[in-house]
Every structure is written in structure tokens, then in C-alpha cells.
Amino acid sequence: MSRYALLVTWDELVIAAQIWIEGDPDPQTRSELQELINTGDREELAERMAGTLEFGTSGLRGEVAAGSRRMNRAVVIRSTRGLADYLLSNTVGNPPCVVVGRDARPTSEAFMRDVIGVFLAAGLTVEYFPEPIPTPIVAYATLSRGAHAAVVITASHNPLSDNGYKVYGANGAQIIPPSDRYIAEAIAAVGPAIDVPRVEDFEEHERSRVLDDAVFDRYLGDMELTRVRPVAVPSFKIAYTPLHGVGGKYVVAALAHAGYVDVHLAGAQFDPDGTFPTVRFPNPEEPGALNLVYDLASRVDADLVIANDPDADRLAIGLPSEYGWSALTGNQIGVLLADHLLENTKVENPVVVSSVVSSPMLGVIAAFRRARFAQSLTGFKWIWNAGLELESAGGTFVFGYEEALGYSIGRAVHDKDGISAAVAFADLVAACVVEGMTVADRLEALYRKHALWVSSQANVVCPGLDGASKIEVVMNQITMDPPQSLSGVEITSVIDYSVGAETRPRYLPAAKLVELELGELGRLLIRPSGTEPKLKIYGDLQSDVSKVADMRSAEKKLLDRIDKLISDLIDYLRLD
């Protein structure tokens, strides 16, 4: 039994659940929570009612179910009213305008209707996409429509059981402190969801406006302004999958707009389907997730595999090799794109940004290309706020990335964008074709010039309330009693990002993140996930390979070493 369940009496849990039931406008979740009371399921009731679902890296995200710690209509309604109150109290003049969109998950349409209804009843203007839409297009619309905020109902690449609520500010980036705290306080002040006014039939409401393909057309025009590419696009074959997500027709249209028309589609995964019938986990990083598109690529003899996650804000790349199809890592895609863009950009004072857990190799490339480089906390809300701050100091944002397959090209979208990143990588491949080399050749050339950097990570899942407690204990342990060495490698210093924020840029605030430095060899990092109940451990090592004959062997040797370091850290923290 969860120790949290033991800290709360059954009577207290029942009272909290009954109050929630009385305030829930959805009969299905009312019945679901009542059943837990009727069956006396104390463990599950504690998991549902011990606290509330709070804003994290991407607003709200969690399992769809009844209760205050789950995603459901009551949580969405109260959150939207709180956000509306925050916007009303911080807007001068006309009522705030909010852009709203959704993905194709089973509950997303109902959640979006509640969001629109609450905003309209609160007096806001709402511009919304009636059909499932990629998250980057909603982020783009926030800026292009001059909105005060945006909400996207999406759980991105999370499991089928989840859904989420992502919030953007007027600057087109995801919200950061203190805005998230003020919004959370406004949500806490909202009464029961059943008492929150909503406009049910909003389609003909005077402050309700439908957004159409004109937004995407304008997006394509802005994307074109930031492209760097060969004079003539050579012909090559692309195999593509949106993994049952919403990116399909938009990515195909963007590629065609850029001149890439020989695109072969993983048909069984092309149409939006929030049940994700052909994959166990709709994340392109997961083993086996790209098998279907790899099979397609082999059949058509493709030169490149492109995949997106379900809300099309991430990009995965697969390349052919003598060993079959293999995926590039998020860091490999990142350094390849950064070098390509910086080599060809015409802007003065270019700026590139990565999350602190992404490969340090980007900083080396930026220095070589004479670009300004910065690191932020994980999450594109921090990457883009870093970019905006550096732009205010005279720079121009060219590229940002994080190792979890997130990339931002140019200034049109202030978030990760798997659509423009797909076009940018196709342009990189085209440049390689023109130069008579492969992408693998280009990556090897980067390693020989700047040193081989390899990265690896491990995720330790810690579900439920006990998991949250375990994560807290481990983070305290690593700060209070870090290892002196691992696998015979000395820990030369420890950086605890929960302290010292006053000496760092505002895009590196206090955070539960610890970095173990390994001298010139590299580093290890550990942090809790912002969107899932897990601990994430990262490792980055480097080696001079300028004179190495067998690059593949050198890379494998370094990867084996970093995986051993990560394994030893897991053992040290008793996480196995």
C-alpha cells in the first residue's frame, strides 16, 4: 500500500472525493470516483485525490481519469477559468484573445470544447482550429494572430491513457515562472467545476472565430524565409510516418512546398488516430516505434526516413546503412542541423540554444561558426526565453534544440517544431547529395573536426505517490552524498542547479538537476522528468578521433563506457 494512503484516513479521502464528485459536471467521472468509494479502494482513491494535478514543464499532463490528480473535464474547466481570470487581470483594453487547438486523442475534442466554452463565458475572444492540428501551428498562430495566449489539448508522445493542457504566452513561448505560479494560484481560487459558466454551443458565438488553412499557408511562407538549401533541390526518396498523429498532411504539404515530392507514406499510420493502433507507445524514440516506416523505406529504396510524434513537434530521422535502417540520436540530429544552418545563414550575430542536458558539442560548433551559444533548462519554454533574451541583446535566433528530438528552426515558431525541422533536414540531405557525400559522412567529418561526442541516457520509472517520494529522496541523496568516483572515473565537481540561480541567467533558474563533472572526459546529469513519473539520467563523453581509422569502433567503445558509468550511478543510488 502507498505510504501516502496511510497518511490520510479513509474518512478524509471519502470526504474529499465526495466534494469533488459534487463539483464534477461529467457523469462518467462522477460515477468512476463513486465506484472507488463503494469498493473501498483506499490505495487508488489516495492516488486520485491526494493533491492536485499541477503545472509542470508543459502545463498540465497526466492520466485521463476521475479525481483531482488526473486529467478530466473538471480539471480542464477549472484550469481554464483560472487562466481566463489571470489573463483578464493582466490585459488592458480589449478582452484577451486566446488561440485553441487539439490533437486527435479520444478525449481531446471534449476537453477543447470545454476550454472554448469557459473562455467565451468569461468574456474572452477565442480563435480555434476545429480539427486536430499540429502543436507548432498553434504556437505559430499565437504570434501571427497577435493573441494573448494559446491552449493546446495534447499529451504529445505520452501513452494513450494520458492527455494534457499546454499553455503559451503572448510571446509565443510556453509559460514560465512567475506566470505559471500566478495561473496556478488563480486556478486554486476557482470554485467547483460544475459552477463555472460555459458556452455550450459556441460555433455561432460573436467572439468565436474558426481558424482555417490560411494560417498554415502563412506558416509556409515564413518557413521559406529561414531556409538554407542548394540552388536546385536534387531528387531523392523520403519515407514518412506521423505515428497516427496530426502531422501527416501538414508535413507532406511542407515538404512539397520545399520541392520534396517523392515522399512515400506509412499508410497504416498516416491518418490521425489517438488510439495509436500499430504502436505500443507513440514515441519515435521507443524501440520498434519506427519498424513500419523502416519496412516501407526498404521496399521503396528510400534515402531518408522522417517521423514525427503525435502532435508533430518532434522529429526523428532514420538513415540507411550497411546494417539496415538506423535512427540518428536527438543529439546527432541537433549538431548536424546546427552546423548546416550556421554554415549557410546570412544573419548577423547568430544565436543557438540547447537545453543543459543536450550534447555539449553544440557549444563547440557554435564557437567554430562564431555564433552565440547558450544553455537553458530543459523544455522549449526555457530555450525560447533564452533565445528572446539574447535577441534583445542584438542576436538573431537561428536554431535551438533538446536531445529529446525537439528542434526549432528560425523565428516563426517559438517552440519545437517537427514540421520545419523535417524540411530543414531534407535540405541538409539535399546539400549532402549535391556535395557527393552522405549524412553519415558529414557527421563523421564533424566528429573528426570537433571531437567525437556520444550521449546516452537511462529512464527509471517511479509511478504513483510513492514514486514521487522516491524521486525526492534520490535527488536529495545525490546532492547531499554524491559519489566520489564511478567506474574508476573521478567526479571532479558537482553542480546542484537547485542553488546558485542568482548567479545564472534567468533561463537557468533553480531546478532539480544535478551535474556530475568527469573532467575533460564529460559529465553525468540526473533530474526528474517534468511530464512523466520518472528519473532521467544523462551522460555525455568525448574523445579525440582526428586520427582514428575505425570511427564506428571508437563510437561503440565510448558508448559502452558511458553506459557503464550510468549503470554504476543507478547502482549507487539503489534505483535498480
How is 83-115 classified by DSSP, letter by letter? HHHHHHHT--SSPPEEEEEE-SSTTHHHHHHHH
pLDDT tens, the chain, 576 aa long: 444 444 578 999 999 999 999 999 999 999 999 999 999 999 999 999 988 998 765 689 999 999 999 999 999 999 999 999 999 999 988 999 999 999 999 999 999 999 999 999 999 999 999 999 999 999 999 999 999 999 999 999 999 999 999 999 999 999 998 999 999 999 999 999 999 999 999 999 999 999 999 999 999 999 999 898 877 889 999 999 999 999 999 999 999 999 999 999 999 999 999 999 999 999 999 999 999 999 999 999 999 999 999 999 999 999 998 889 999 999 999 999 999 999 999 999 999 999 999 999 999 999 999 999 999 999 999 999 999 999 999 999 999 999 999 999 999 999 999 999 999 999 999 999 999 999 999 999 999 999 999 999 999 988 876 788 889 999 999 999 999 999 999 999 999 999 999 999 999 999 999 999 999 999 999 999 876 788 999 999 999 999 999 999 999 999 999 999 999 999 999 887
- Do the domains 51-211 and 214-450 sit in the same CATH topology, yes or no? yes
Say what the pLDDT of residue 571 is.
Answer: 94
Query: How do the domains of the chain map onto residue ranges?
Result: 51-211, 214-450, 452-572
The structure's pTM equals: 0.95
- CATH fold of 51-211: Alpha-D-Glucose-1,6-Bisphosphate; Chain A, domain 3 (3.40.120)
162-168 and 60-63 as β-strands: parallel, antiparallel, unpaired?
antiparallel
Say what the pLDDT of residue 467 is.
Answer: 82
Q: Considering the candidates 2, 68, 156, 456, report the single residue annotated as catalytic.
A: 156
CA contacts within 13 A on the Cβ side of 221? 7
149-153 and 60-63 as β-strands: parallel, antiparallel, unpaired?
unpaired
Q: What is the CATH number of domain 452-572?
A: 3.30.310
Please identify, in words, the CATH class of the domain defined by 214-450: alpha beta
Using CA atoms, how far residue 27 sits from 47, 72, 111, in Å, is 20, 11, 15
Residue 178 preceded by cis peptide, ω within 30: yes
**C-alpha grid cell, residue 488:** 574508476
Residue 509 CB neighbours (<10 A): 16
Work out the widest C-alpha separation in the chain, in whole angstroms: 73
Based on the residue annotation, tell me whether 156 is a catalytic residue of this protein: yes
The answer to whether 408 and 384 have CB atoms below 8 angstroms apart is yes
Cα 222 to the center of its chain, rounded Å: 22
What dihedral angle (degrees, nearest 10) is formed by the CA atoms of 502, 505, 511, 514?
-100
Say what the pLDDT of residue 4 is.
Answer: 47
Say what the pLDDT of residue 49 is.
Answer: 93
Give the DSSP H/E element, type plus range, for residue 188: helix 179-188
Give the DSSP H/E element, type plus range, for residue 372: strand 372-376
Say what the pLDDT of residue 316 is.
Answer: 98
Say what the pLDDT of residue 1 is.
Answer: 43
